[in-house]
Amino acid sequence: MEFLKGAKDFARNPLGIIALFISLIYGFASLLLNSAAESLTVAERWPLIIFIVVFPILVLITFYMLVTNHHGKLYAPGDFQDDKSFLRTLSPEEQEEKLEKEVTESLGADEDSEEPKPQGAPMASADAELEERQKSHREFREELKVIESSVINHIASELKVDAEINVGIGETEAKFDAFLQAPSGKFTFLEVKAFRSPHAPMMVLDRILYQAVIADRFFESKFKLILAVVYYFEEEELERVKRMWKKKVDRCPVDIELRFLPRSKVINA
């Protein structure tokens, strides 16, 4: 009965099931060797002895690989004291991928709004244009890092909370620039976007709203997203963009606070 009670406790999460399975196998092998040692020949004992010696080493190696590469999948939700335990810091590769996508999206909006170039341009001119685009890409990439840091610090200071940057929610697709430990009772996240053109693709907003819906379901409607849009264009264009974005945000069944900040205010803050 004690064993069954312990087995029930073990079976509550993947890590416990693995431990239970290993214990049973190792226990049966040890029991067999102990009870039937005198009746086994030398040739029959050796495989059992080798197994009992080698098996713990294999288990150690396997557990090391699991804990190193898949630690987030070894626990059940009940093993965490609260939902915040599911937060994880994005890996350097994930951070680079996220940043590169944001740069491409913003610069892509710039290119879509440009006048088409005449055909048959000289090769030297094409090379110069490519070099100029690569330079613009690098410069905007570095500037976006400054913008994100400035906005995160500004809003965290405004709310009087600490910020954890570059966070993901468990193994979901939801990834945000920062988690703000707001005392509002909701898990508050911040996502920063920067656009140099008012013709920002709406698919960018669709992707953000999709991630917000995933996070809201994960936290059982105890989720809030502050979406800060840093714009480079003139104020005259802003009202149209605001209407378009607000219309979509209002349709989303998630608590989203939409903010628009001029680039000059963010950079000089």
Judgement on whether residues 145 and 195 belong to the same structural domain of the protein: yes
pLDDT at 77 over 80: no
98 and 59 part of one domain: no
The residue among 110 and 91 whose pLDDT is bigger is 91
Angle ∠(202,207,210) on CA atoms, nearest 5: 125
Residues comprising the chain, all counted: 269
Q: Please indicate, yes or no, whether residues 107 and 238 belong to a single structural domain of this protein.
A: yes
- Which domain CATH number covers 134? 3.40.1350
pLDDT of residue 119: 53
Where does residue 70 rank: exposed (0-12), middle (13-18), buried (19+ CB within 10 A)?
Answer: exposed
Residues 87 and 200 in one domain: yes
Task: Please indicate, yes or no, whether residues 89 and 55 belong to a single structural domain of this protein.
Answer: no
Cβ-based neighbours of 189, under 8 Å, separated by 6 or more = 167, 176, 178, 179, 180, 215, 223, 224, 225, 226
Say whether both 138 and 169 belong to one domain: yes
Residue 113, pLDDT above cutoff 50 = no
174 has a pLDDT exceeding 60: yes
Q: What is the pLDDT of residue 168?
A: 92
Same-domain status, 129 and 74? no
Tell whether 33 and 92 lie within a shared domain: no
* pLDDT of 74: 57
pLDDT given for residue 225 in this prediction: 95
User: How deeply is 245 buried, as exposed, middle or buried, from its count of CB atoms within 10 A (0-12, 13-18, 19+)?
Assistant: buried
Which of helix, strand or coil describes residue 234?
coil
On whether both 27 and 142 belong to a single domain, the answer is no
- H-type alpha helices, 37-189: 42-70, 92-113, 123-159
- Looking at the fold, whether 72 and 151 belong to one and the same domain comes out as no
The 8-class DSSP code of residue 222 comes to -
Q: Which residue range is the domain that position 223 belongs to?
A: 83-114+121-267
Q: Which two tokens stand for residue 248?
A: 């979509």
Residues 240 and 262 in one domain: yes
Count the domains in the chain. 2
Please report where in the chains the tokens 């979509």 appear, as a residue: 248
Q: pLDDT at position 96, please?
A: 92
Q: Is the pTM of this model over 0.75?
A: no
Chain mean pLDDT for the chain: 79
250 with 180, same domain: the answer is yes
pLDDT band at 257 (very low <50, low <70, confident <90, very high): very high
pLDDT at 231: 93
pLDDT at residue number 135: 86
